[in-house]
Amino acid sequence: MKRIFLIFLAIFSSFLAFAQENDSIIVVKSPAGRLSGLIDIQDLVNEGYNFWDEKFEGHWAGVELGINGFANADYSLYSSTDNNFLKNDLLRSNILNLNVLQYSKGLQQNRNTIGLITGLGLSLQSYRLSNSTTIILDENRKVKPKMLIFDSNQKSKLSSVYLEVPLLVEFQIPVGHNANRLYFSAGITGAKRLESHTKVKYRKDGKREKLKSPGDYSIREYKVAGTFRMGYRWVNLFATYDLVPLFEDRRGPELFPFAAGIKLISF
């Protein structure tokens, strides 16, 4: 009996020793400042916490339609009989902007309401001139008026197509739900002229005719314009004003194109 007791005591002692060896607790420390494994306190101090889930998105891309005209006209290079030969019909002069590419970059660390916008677009600008006038270039590449002598229903236009790149700063104000925002943006657009032409539609001997004459017409190849845009939900407005005259220096009257309109489709 004594021998059995000693054997049992030896086995029990060995079991306790084994349990103490394998049940040791290893404490693994969390990274300093980590709260529940979700928020790094140090990151919060250094970078702030972003309560805005969405990235900044600007309002450049889309299809725009508006009217355009000429401001601050100066015809000092011409005789009094040629004054205002490029006066246009404002309501029949139009601009169509196809802003196909957009890149937006937020400027805030913890918000998404202020940012920069750039992109790429095409601008088709058309000016409805006096029914009795179109333009030509003389031997010195100076713009001159040319009177039309066709029958009634004459229509004369000067048109240009530009490739545009904007640089805008946009401010957004959340209204109600975060997705609905009132925005204002301002900046400049740089543009390269791709094509220009005059077009005359008229009737001759009772038949409709059309005469299209491509040419640069001493219009500047590059231009810069200031632009302002604003909108809320489905209503988006734009306005632009060229910072350089339409024609090359001393090649035509000094005219500063402007435009205003509305966005029809947003991308």
What does the alpha-carbon distance between residue 40 and residue 55 come to, in Å, rounded to a whole number?
A: 22
Q: How confident is the model at residue 205 (pLDDT cuts 50, 70, 90)?
A: confident
Q: Two tokens at 184?
A: 């204002």
> pLDDT tens digits, residue range 51-90?
455 789 999 999 999 999 999 999 999 998 898 999 999 9
> pLDDT tens digits, residue range 247-266?
999 999 999 999 999 999 99
Task: Report the pLDDT value the prediction gives residue 178, as an integer from 0 to 100.
Answer: 65
Backbone angles phi, psi at 115, to 5 degrees: -165, 170
- What is the DSSP secondary-structure string of 202-255? EEETTEEEEEEEE--TTB-SEEEEEEEEEEETTEEEEEEEESS-SBPTTSS-EE
Confidence check: pLDDT of 113 > 70:
yes
Mean pLDDT for all residues in the chain = 84
What does the alpha-carbon distance between residue 188 and residue 116 come to, in Å, rounded to a whole number?
A: 12
Average pLDDT score over residue span 200-226: 92
Task: Report the pLDDT value the prediction gives residue 177, as an integer from 0 to 100.
Answer: 65
Confidence check: pLDDT of 111 > 80:
yes
Who has greater pLDDT, 69 or 132? 69
Task: Name 30's bridge partners.
Answer: none
Name the 3-class secondary structure at 30. Answer: coil
Who has greater pLDDT, 171 or 45? 171
What does the alpha-carbon distance between residue 68 and residue 17 come to, in Å, rounded to a whole number?
A: 94
> pLDDT tens digits, residue range 152-181?
667 899 999 999 999 999 999 998 766 689
What does the alpha-carbon distance between residue 117 and residue 60 come to, in Å, rounded to a whole number?
A: 7
Q: Two tokens at 68?
A: 């355009």
> pLDDT tens digits, residue range 190-204?
999 999 999 998 887
Are the beta carbons of 152 and 91 closer than 8 angstroms?
no
Instruction: Give the closest residue to 155 by CA, choosing from 122, 176, 129.
Output: 129
Q: Which of 96-110, 128-142, 248-262 has the lowest mean pLDDT?
A: 128-142
Confidence check: pLDDT of 3 > 80:
no
Are the beta carbons of 229 and 168 closer than 8 angstroms?
yes
> pLDDT tens digits, residue range 139-156?
999 999 998 876 666 789
Name the 3-class secondary structure at 54. Answer: coil
> pLDDT tens digits, residue range 4-38?
444 444 554 554 454 444 444 444 454 544 444 44
- What is the DSSP secondary-structure string of 103-149? EEEE--SS--SEEEEEEEEEEEEEEEB-TTEEEEE-TTS-EEEEE--
Average pLDDT score over residue span 207-231: 95
Length of the chain as a residue count: 267
Task: Report the pLDDT value the prediction gives residue 14, as an integer from 0 to 100.
Answer: 52
Confidence check: pLDDT of 238 > 90:
yes
Q: Is the dihedral of CA 122, 128, 129, 131 positive or negative?
A: positive
Task: Report the pLDDT value the prediction gives residue 204, as an integer from 0 to 100.
Answer: 78
